[in-house]
Structure 1
């Protein structure tokens, strides 16, 4: 009955955590809060409009797809999400991955990869993997974010300088070679206008923090270009309606090839959305539901994929702006989406005059903010292994791609972690009373040098996890056993876990000692190692009587065996 009750309680707790925040925060909703949410939603929409356009152009799709991505995702996540103030939309992190997918597989490939990523996110939420995202090491996060920033900067140099190139190469280094080759075709008007916008983007927040600097740069830059009749490329007419591309079939090989970039999109969405949830929780003193947020982001990106839009996730800056402007419920995110739709319908005739160099300037400043200089410099005193992961993740991201960077970064982290664990695993022999001339004043009854150890007995203390990285240390134990030894006591009170490789090494040690008529006795074997020993048949091989609960019992057992 108790087990059934616990199961029911656990199930009820899970179901409660999987309920969208919308249902729980609307119980005591007031008119005053509605006005605050509406105001916050409109303000964040003003911030999001130029960014959504810039991220879409940077990703290699038309501008309206970025706006529709922000509209659809913010409303869907508001209705289904697990955060009170999450504002969702396209972000700079997707530029590099979407460009690579479109280059390799076309718009059809991006649609399928985004749908696959959405399904992965839904499954991650259902299987309660929201907490596991925190296991991605910080050096990898900072490294690939910095790499993405360098990639965005590189992509925007073309429009910022007004260089005319028929077809830009994909490779990072080849891009810079192309820029150097076409340096004579720089449009000075574009550079001049872009520099003015960068100055506005940097200086404006010091003058007024209420009105977004990107909006001011967009308005001023477009006005200067139009009034002065500067010869710069403009955005052109943006369709008000969303054109949905037909989803054609891909071969099975292509589908399997898209799994890796789809997984990368899913990880990026999950990391940014949950990071945004954690940050805004501290501002509004709330607690987001991580798994429900993943499900909502998954549903949102599945819909975006079906409609041919770019991926979207929770934006940290936009969500913070929402919280600081009074937004406290998902109603603010809904108003954010509706306001963007209003801008799309009403303001499109004006947006077509926006120069590409102005959008490039906005993204260059975004890339600078993404490249966290303080975080990079903070690793100067970090362990060399962490520095190696940081640099590798950053360089691989802009040189070879985000997918490879994450894969290599995770492998490097795992290998270095296993090395550290192997380094802390130790097997030490005791210092015995019979070898000491002076016992000193130590009255601790558990002190190692105050235990009576029978003759012909050796005691070894094992510390740290016993796994394949430290398995060779177990074999060294046999080298210390001399001909007069009859019993070896192995104390395992500091061994939290053991794997099959270490278990096999332990079997080899036992077989070697058994051939020389030496008995192995264990003490303080913890739950996981003992379970592994039983499952592997090791306890049957050495005998239950040689598994002792305490060190004193193990020493008594050794004395009997020696006698």
Structure 2
């Protein structure tokens, strides 16, 4: 099959990295200075986060650093946003933790690689714009659920509990904590409180300072000064490697690919949604526009490469992207330099990172969990109509108590049914004697009030889609005596789908059986095009298509007018 050249050119235009655009426009020394300063600032923020996110995901801290370096560089280099910063994020913690527990780290590598391929395919198929239609209650619900999962996953280190591995499921996790609450370490609790307090204080009083890093340094200093008996990175994971990340291909369970596909889809979905949300936020702060399909391709490349180097899933990070913009980042070089600075920090500071106490990293993630909980959005959505509240609570509950993949699937499906119900209720099938619709300029109330005998008219207000299609039968069924002519007014129908066309064909058949002539009036461009594509055309004796209601009335009058020579008695 030959693909038209214009389709290829348009696809290439939509996936072209913003880096290419910047280079065509010209890159100056002043831009480099601004990007270097912004990249350094973001790297200082990303360093503690990358380690904390990796530990919370059930793996070693260097995996988070490797992800920030490899994926962070590639997301900026190939992305569709000038200022997007990529790397590991908190949204992946629940799904990554479960995958590692069930399938081992090799399973996560395969899962991340599959997700990367899915994202590349989505970008090449130009599906980036579809991400915009994700229902907000679903996003808020699973984001709040992820926040609860992250918060509860940090209780062990925050309290210094003497226990084994933390269960992946929510209720068993709480039960395990309850069974070991007597082993709470006061020193760990004090460090957690110090870390959270320092971060909150600095955010309020010195918002431009790197609060996470300062809190980590303060907690590490206190731990060393008083020789506090708490777990550190070194005591649990050993010294971080002082080397460039290399190919890391552990035993990969290819025979379990089918089992991993749902988790891979969840990772791809989260990476796509979060990166595009971050890009939209960046657009609002910079006044520029991102290329959504290029962003998806970049996420796919970055996740595939991260998997090959033994890293974690990655996506665009809203907080780090905002930090980049506030620090003066102008082009994708800021994100690429941020990754290089993280690499330098890892090579230089690795021997000292072993002293970082785990309660301090738990404090960082407790604050992260609060930040992504979107508590205000949650409260606001709880004031929405019942359908939105149902979707929100259902998605939230399934995320916390069951599984993120199931939560997203069920949330989207229920949201779709809620939407269909609302649209079906909103679309009106009104009689011909109702108020004149705007836009049908040739129509007036006197014409409607004087419909000829044997003529009925109904108006559809709104899209004629699968949720509404069945109501056409209801409109025709209400006539005890079927009319001679049935006018279906569609001047206020902006769109129609395949289900709507099938419903009209079914209505045409019923009219033919009942001896009723069908007239469709006021077709707008999209319905008219779909009519032509799906073979619903004018057919004398059965179906007439009129430009407006006035023409439909004239056709109806001619159809019900007595034939000359017939007995009029």
TM-score, normalising length from structure 2? 0.90
Structure-2 change in CA distance of 1:542 and 1:353 (3 Å): farther
Match of 1:390 in 2: 392
Match of 1:246 in 2: 249
Give 1:508 shift: 4.6
Match of 2:230 in 1: 232
Quick check: 1:19 aligned with 2:16? yes
Structure-2 change in CA distance of 1:545 and 1:255 (3 Å): closer
Aligned mates of 2:535, 2:331 — CA distance in 1: 57
The more displaced of 483-492 and 222-231 is: 483-492
Deviation by residue 1:251-297 (Cα, 9 ceiling, x = unmatched): 55x21221221111112112222222222233333322222222122
The more displaced of 367-376 and 46-55 is: 367-376
Gaps of 5+ in 1: 1-6, 434-443
Match of 1:463 in 2: 461
Match of 1:279 in 2: 281
Match of 1:447 in 2: 444
Aligned mates of 1:62, 1:121 — CA distance in 2: 26
Structure-2 change in CA distance of 1:367 and 1:9 (3 Å): same
Structure-2 change in CA distance of 1:484 and 1:69 (3 Å): closer
Aligned mates of 1:221, 1:249 — CA distance in 2: 38
Aligned mates of 1:525, 1:186 — CA distance in 2: 71
2:192 alignment partner, one of 181, 191, 194: 194
Quick check: 2:109–2:252 contact (8 Å CA) kept in 1? no
Give 1:150 shift: 0.5
The more displaced of 536-545 and 236-245 is: 536-545
Match of 1:130 in 2: 128
Quick check: 1:418 aligned with 2:412? no
Give 1:409 shift: 0.9
Aligned mates of 1:126, 1:445 — CA distance in 2: 46
Give 1:399 shift: 1.1
Aligned mates of 1:166, 1:541 — CA distance in 2: 76
Structure-2 change in CA distance of 1:458 and 1:123 (3 Å): same
Match of 2:166 in 1: 168
Aligned mates of 1:328, 1:432 — CA distance in 2: 57
Structure-2 change in CA distance of 1:244 and 1:533 (3 Å): closer
> Which SS does the other structure have where 1:455 is aligned?
coil
Match of 1:440 in 2: none
Aligned mates of 1:269, 1:459 — CA distance in 2: 50
The more displaced of 469-478 and 126-135 is: 469-478
Match of 1:439 in 2: none
Quick check: 1:406 aligned with 2:408? yes
Give 1:521 shift: 2.4
Aligned mates of 2:209, 2:507 — CA distance in 1: 72
Match of 2:42 in 1: 44
Match of 1:370 in 2: 372
Match of 1:139 in 2: 137
Quick check: 2:520–2:543 contact (8 Å CA) kept in 1? no
2:272 alignment partner, one of 270, 273, 283: 270
Structure-2 change in CA distance of 1:424 and 1:108 (3 Å): same
Match of 2:521 in 1: 523
Structure-2 change in CA distance of 1:69 and 1:430 (3 Å): same
1:256 alignment partner, one of 241, 255, 258: 258
Match of 2:147 in 1: 149
Match of 1:438 in 2: none
Aligned mates of 1:277, 1:228 — CA distance in 2: 44
Give 1:547 shift: 2.4
Quick check: 2:249–2:309 contact (8 Å CA) kept in 1? no
Match of 1:73 in 2: 71
Structure-2 change in CA distance of 1:261 and 1:298 (3 Å): same
Structure-2 change in CA distance of 1:235 and 1:533 (3 Å): same
Counting matched residue pairs gives 546
Structure-2 change in CA distance of 1:235 and 1:523 (3 Å): same
Structure-2 change in CA distance of 1:174 and 1:386 (3 Å): same
Match of 2:438 in 1: none
> Which SS does the other structure have where 1:309 is aligned?
coil
CA RMSD of aligned residues (A): 2.5
> Which SS does the other structure have where 1:546 is aligned?
strand
